[in-house]
Amino acid sequence: MDFFDAFLNPEIIATYLRPMVRAVWVTIWISVLVVISGLALGALLAGLRAYQKRWLSWPIVLFADLMRALPPLVLMLILFFGLPSIGIILNDWFVLYLILTLVLAAFVEEIFWATMTSLPRGQWEAGAATGLSFLQVLVHVIFPQALRMNIPPLVNRSLTISKMTAYGSVIGVKEIVSVAGSAQAFSGSATPLTMAALAYLIIFFPAMLLSRYIEDRFHYEH
């Protein structure tokens, strides 16, 4: 019974249930915001890159490369500890939100771009030949197809990055891991850590099943 006492102590669960639930909401909120803004920013960048102006593409490619090559945790620490020394102070949660959004945007941009360049040329030309402007072709013809063809990778990437909200604990965001960590230190029990793992399971296990379902369903045929 040692095990249950350490990892699933009912009293400790009862004590920390409320703060944990609050932390779950924080995690969910930040995740939702990150996914919405990351998808939007990524699509926007891919759209700008489609104009094929060197002075636009070049910074976008650089941005996407950096955000995909650097560990998000490193980026967060640089922002969180570095910016105050040049007089910019950002909220801990905002740093988390910002970095995860940028990272997601980088991946989304790459996913969209890969599809946009592999769609048959005729899709662009059919749009242009019917008098649609470049932007209209992009918005009404190309993006909807890119979105549909990429639902599985977009969902998977969004979930992976949502789970990175756990990194917020390193800079003090009151999300699941950090609340569980201080509860563990305070109570001298591992139970809050188990609660944290379970909380993630409750949020993301259904999401994993959903992504499996989506992957089976959206085998998009061209």
Q: According to CB under 8 A, which one of 8, 13, 28, 119 is a site residue for other proteins?
A: 119
Q: Decide if 49 contacts 56 (C-beta within 8 A).
A: yes
Site string for other proteins, 120-159 (x = CB under 8 A): xxxxxxxxxxxxxxx-x---xx--xx--x-----------
Q: Is 187 in the site for other proteins (CB under 8 A)?
A: no
Query: For residues 56, 58, 63 and 65, what is the CA-based torsion angle, rounded to 10 degrees?
Result: 150
Q: How many residues bind other proteins (CB under 8 A)?
A: 82
With respect to other proteins, which residue has the nearer C-beta, 51 or 91?
A: 51
Q: Within its chain, how far is the Cα of 105 from the centroid?
A: 8
Q: Is 91 in the site for other proteins (CB under 8 A)?
A: no
**3-10 long-range CB contacts below 8 Å, 24 or more apart?**
6/189, 6/190, 6/191, 7/190, 7/191, 7/193, 7/194, 8/191, 8/194, 9/189, 9/191
Q: Would you state the structure tokens that stand for residue 121, as one six-digit string?
A: 């040329």
Q: Restricting to residues 1-20, which ones interact with other proteins according to CB under 8 A?
A: 2-3, 6-7
Q: Is 54 in the site for other proteins (CB under 8 A)?
A: no
198 CB-near residues (< 8 Å, 6+ apart)? none
With respect to other proteins, which residue has the nearer C-beta, 93 or 124?
A: 124
Q: Restricting to residues 167-186, which ones interact with other proteins according to CB under 8 A?
A: 167, 169-170, 176-177, 180-181, 184
CB atoms within 10 A of CB 37: 17
Q: According to CB under 8 A, which one of 18, 55, 89, 222 is a site residue for other proteins?
A: 222
Q: Is 82 in the site for other proteins (CB under 8 A)?
A: yes
